[in-house]
Homo-oligomer: A and B are copies of this chain.
Amino acid sequence: MDHLNAFVPGERCTIPGAAGGPLADLSFAVKDLIDVANWPTGGGNPDWARAHPVPERSAWVVQRLLDAGARIIGKTATDEVSLGILGENPFTGTPLNPAAPDRVPGGSSSGSASAVAGGACDFALGTDTGGSVRVPASFCGLFGLRPTHGRLNFRGITVQAPSSDTVGWLARDATTFARVGQVLFDETLPEMLPRTLLIASDAFAFADPAVAEALSPMVNRLADLIGTRRDETLAPQGLSVWKEAQRCLQSSESWRTFAPWVDRYNPRLQFSVARNLALAAQISDGERARAALMRLEARARLRMLLPPDTILCLPTTPFPAPMRGLSISDLALPRERITCLACVGGLTGSPQVNLPGARVDGAPVGLSLVGAPGTDTTLLAVANAFGESY
């Protein structure tokens, strides 16, 4: 039985890994937006599966992990076609947040986070366009990576917004987290850690004071590992301005992606998802052009902040997971606030790791590391060193 409600209903997808591979002792789960050969890709929506053929090939990441010996133990629930950040899905139900059972798990990689946090597997694949690995990692108390945009082959994964889409994973411990990365990036972890840690002062100030306080010991421990620490403003234009740019670009692209399916099938969607698509259809070329400029400015800012040997940290989410079952209006500002902190990844293409380790009101909240594009294994090495420092 699936007491977590983390897996897609029906027969459980189980596939053994290749014998003798480096991950032969590990089990993993696959978000149901990622193809596994001969299993339907359900996308968290009953009208998605029926509109799409059962894939004949597994996604590149899935095949690579199977070839490395890891075994699949199931496909996991997701927000409808990846369009959500909280993990509430009215069609398959909301997965349990094992670390805070009365709260949402976060999304859209909700089932993957639930399955890992609940101990059903060693790690799980997710996708992250606007926060969908990092936010559930923060809410469920897991390690989670959003890789550098474009670094991992995206073949066989449901597209949302191509200029922001990435595929990542979640794990309970830093060692497993790093082992998966070594296989997927085909790279060993660097032995030298970065030497400068920037503290994104605007992002810490934007989070709930209790979150900044709870993360403070983690920041101190991280600074001890790294060496130099320095406060810096991440987004001089304002985190909400960066958020608006990311929202505009991501929404526009997701409408372009899903419009043909929506038009043909008139699918059932929860109201908030349908509304966001309908409003995305109204975004003008002028709005898109201004958002694209702001994205260039955000990328320029990151390049200035992150010379070699420098990483930055910020709260992954401004608060722990909201309670389950809140109304649309209760969640309106929280959704926006989450995106104010999560927009950095989608806007700049930088890799970002969530480190678990803090709690507020008994619920997890995570600390994020951001590096320059391409420094994924550096972040994994920091996470690994951080994990060993407990």
The CA-CA distance from A90 to B90 in the complex, in Å, is: 15
**Given A47-B90, A90-B47, A272-B279 contact (CB < 8 Å):** no
Contact residues in B for A266 (Cβ distance below 8 Å) = 88, 90, 270-272, 327-328
Q: A270 touching B271 by the CB < 8 A rule?
A: no
Q: Is the CB of B270 within 8 A of A267?
A: yes
Min CB–CB distance A72 → chain B (angstroms) = 29
Greatest chain B CB density within 10 A among A263, A264, A272, A274 is at A274
At the interface, yes or no: A91 with Cβ under 8 Å from chain B? yes
- A275: nearest chain-B partner, CB-CB: B278
Is there contact, CB below 8 Å, between B329 and A263? yes
- For A260, give the chain B residue with the smallest CB separation: B327
Which of B47, B88, B275, B329 interacts with A274 by CB under 8 Å?
B275
With both beta carbons as reference points, the residue of chain B lying nearest to A331 in the complex is identified as B266
Contact B263 A267 (CB under 8 A): no
Query: A225 at interface (Cβ–Cβ under 8 A)?
Result: no
**Is the CB of A277 closer than 8 A to any CB of chain B?**
yes
A279 to B277 alpha-carbon distance, docked (Å): 11
Also in contact, A327 and B263, with CB within 8 A (given A47-B90, A90-B47, A278-B274): yes
| Interchain CB contact under 8 A, B263 and A274 | no
Residues on B with beta carbons closer than 8 Å to the beta carbon of A277: 271, 275
Does A290 belong to the interface (CB within 8 Å)? Answer: no
How far does the Cβ of A10 sit from chain B's closest Cβ, in whole Å? 19
Q: At the interface, yes or no: A52 with Cβ under 8 Å from chain B?
A: no
Cβ 8 A contact of A90, one of B268, B278, B327: B268
Interface size grouping (class) on chain A: 20 to 34
Contact of A279 among B47, B268, B278 (CB under 8 A): B278
**CB within 8 A of A328: which of B91, B263, B271, B279?**
B263
Also in contact, A91 and B268, with CB within 8 A (given A274-B274, A274-B278, A278-B275): yes
The answer to whether the Cβ of A269 comes within 8 Å of any Cβ in the partner chain is: yes
Majority SS of interface residues in chain A?
helix
Tell yes or no: A18 within 8 A of B by CB. no
Q: A268: which B residues are within 8 A, CB to CB? A: 90-91, 268-271
A262 proximal to B (CB < 8 A): yes
Of all chain B residues, the one with the shortest Cβ separation from A272 is B266
Most buried by B among A266, A272, A328: A266
Report how far A328 CA is from B47 CA in the complex, Å: 15
Report the Cα distance A264→B331, complex, angstroms. 11
Q: Could you give, for residues 79-113 of chain A, a 1 whenever the CB lies within 8 Å of some chain B CB and a 0 otherwise? A: 00000000010110000000000000000000000
Per-residue contact bits, chain A 333-350, to B (CB 8 Å; 1 contact, 0 not) = 000000000000000000
- Measured CA separation A227–B277 after assembly (Å): 55
Tell me the complex Cα distance, A279–B275, Å.
8
Q: Within the complex, what minimum Cβ distance (angstroms) separates A91 from chain B? A: 7
- Decide yes or no: A267 and B262 within 8 Å by CB, A47-B90, A279-B278 being known contacts: no
A93 smallest CB distance to B (angstroms): 13
- A258 nearest in chain B by CB position: B271
Q: Are B262 and A271 in contact (CB under 8 A)?
A: yes
Bound together, the chains give a CA A262 to CA B328 distance in angstroms of: 8
Could you say which residues of chain B place their CB within 8 Å of the CB of A275?
274-275, 277-278
Near B by CB (< 8 A), chain A positions 254-289 give 262-264, 266-272, 274-275, 277-279
- Could you show 27 A-B contacts with beta carbons less than 8 Å apart? A47-B90, A90-B266, A90-B268, A262-B271, A262-B328, A263-B327, A263-B328, A263-B329, A264-B327, A266-B270, A266-B327, A267-B270, A267-B271, A268-B269, A268-B270, A268-B271, A269-B269, A269-B270, A269-B271, A271-B274, A271-B277, A271-B278, A275-B275, A275-B277, A275-B278, A278-B278, A278-B279
Q: Beyond the given A268-B270, A274-B278, could you list 9 further A-B residue pairs with CB under 8 A, ordered by the A residue number?
A: A90-B267, A263-B327, A266-B271, A266-B272, A267-B271, A269-B271, A275-B275, A275-B278, A278-B279
